[in-house]
Structure 1
């Protein structure tokens, strides 16, 4: 049985329930996630006792806005389309990842998951040595790659095959707008000597990125290069806090098998199809212990 058979086995009532969108769960979770960032940022800005220790949780919260952006790119975080698009823009600016470009990239990843010839994620090989693993987890290649993408899109030099010709003006305008925004923020920060920005946003994001790299590596790392979503994608069983932080994306096989299911319905979808899942890991520590054992 593959993912298509699993979807076909659902009743019409189950499909309707699973794919039902709503603004309420997304707004509640967005308020909690965004509120936590504002809270930690305020405590850092106020230089409360031991404030440098708060930069790590602040950074984890910031970089995991990627998972919210991922949901809004799918337009499943909220029922209202403009709300998905607005929050995607906000996350895009916060984590320096162009939302329109990422939509083309990510949809190609869904269409060709684990296809070595066509999946754009596989253009960034998974680490095969301990040194590569450490560099990958550091987040340095990720930041460098995102800045290169932003520049290439802005100057019109992007040749990404998954971006259609009609989409190139859009990603070019998006990149230029983002660069203009960062330039304005930089000028204002220098003018007002706002060094707090470094400790509230930039340093925390650098500190938090390795945790996002560890999380994302488990989604497809060491999964077979086959078309069946039940085999080429991993679901990682984890605690409530990590699931909330990642907008339920640890249920990643479920997401790939049926991308139209909103984040808040993934736990139910998991319960319906868990007996069919081929690649399930009991936790992220367990996954990385096994992954490290395979490194040369």
Structure 2
């Protein structure tokens, strides 16, 4: 529940010393988080590979594996903010790897996401180029992940062919970096396809990456819809972003991104500091809600 919004300076809710303490980045905590995520991915991926066509366990294992791939987007997000690790080179390397697994380009996303934070829920916010659903058809279409796949095909085509003039957040130098990064990523995918074919398993790229990622996307869309949908269309971080209280497995694989209002208010906070920050910041936010099912029920109730 929002507390005295008109009398609060959003950027001064936390004291200087408190913010300094919370802002401490850690390679150890980042690596432990990454290992936990990769462990879930590795175990579920192994079970998916060894249980194909072997009974009822196949589908839940595929869902977990697929979501662990899709939610590498959360690892990318933290590394792009350079808050996942204390070492910036580690942030850069893991961001690129996480983007490779989740079909995002970290170099492009860093500039895109910077503008999202700068212009959240206002006319220059690049996320608003994907309209929020206003009816059941649009809602289910977004949850399917199909618009996301189509958007990826369009974006990668433009980036790899150097068509960046319609991206205002890319300058000449950053644009060249993005083009090179996107092309390297495409080569990595082509290399994976070639390697699997050379090893006699041409279906592996589809079965162990594309199919699971497609299965995981609806879950990720379900979560990401909650971040700003139904919030105010202005630059007030106390009202334009939602925090969703959810289960530990989701918080783990989403790198604490459900504490999204806290993150938008203080983007410098590393993922491991967000739960502690929530304890102090939650009374100031307009939207702190319990569970993604409830949030999505509220979203569709407005159709």
Q: Secondary structure at the match of 1:281?
A: strand
Cα gap change, 1:3 to 1:269, in 2 (>3 Å): farther
Partner of 2:300: 292
C-alpha displacement at 1:197, in angstroms?
3.6
Separation in 1 of the partners of 2:171 and 2:140? 35
Q: Deviations over 1:243-278 (max 9, x none)?
A: 112111111000000000000000111111111111
State the aligned residue count: 294
Q: Deviations over 1:66-102 (max 9, x none)?
A: 1110000001011111111111111111111111100
Q: Do 1:3 and 1:229's aligned partners in 2 also have CA atoms closer than 8 Å?
A: no
Separation in 2 of the partners of 1:290 and 1:9? 28
Structure 2 runs not aligned, ≥5 long? none
Q: Secondary structure at the match of 1:75?
A: coil
1:39 pairs with 2:43: yes
Greater helix proportion: 1
1:153 pairs with 2:159: yes
Separation in 1 of the partners of 2:78 and 2:266? 13
Structure 1 runs not aligned, ≥5 long? none
C-alpha displacement at 1:13, in angstroms?
1.9
Separation in 1 of the partners of 2:15 and 2:182? 43
Q: Secondary structure at the match of 2:120?
A: coil
Cα gap change, 1:276 to 1:39, in 2 (>3 Å): same
Partner of 1:189: 196
Q: Do 1:3 and 1:230's aligned partners in 2 also have CA atoms closer than 8 Å?
A: no
Separation in 2 of the partners of 1:249 and 1:2? 27
Q: Do 1:89 and 1:99's aligned partners in 2 also have CA atoms closer than 8 Å?
A: yes
Separation in 1 of the partners of 2:284 and 2:8? 12
Task: Give the one of 5, 11, 15 matched to 1:11.
Answer: 15
Q: Deviations over 1:136-182 (max 9, x none)?
A: 00001101111211110111112211112221110110111111111
Partner of 1:100: 107
Partner of 2:118: 111
1:65 pairs with 2:69: no
Task: Give the one of 133, 141, 158 matched to 2:139.
Answer: 133
Cα gap change, 1:2 to 1:124, in 2 (>3 Å): farther
Partner of 1:219: 227
Separation in 1 of the partners of 2:100 and 2:153? 12
TM-score scaled by length of structure 2: 0.93
C-alpha displacement at 1:43, in angstroms?
2.1
Partner of 1:249: 257
**Larger deviation: 9-18 or 230-239?**
9-18
Q: Do 2:25 and 2:86's aligned partners in 1 also have CA atoms closer than 8 Å?
A: yes
Separation in 1 of the partners of 2:252 and 2:195? 34
Separation in 2 of the partners of 1:88 and 1:192? 28
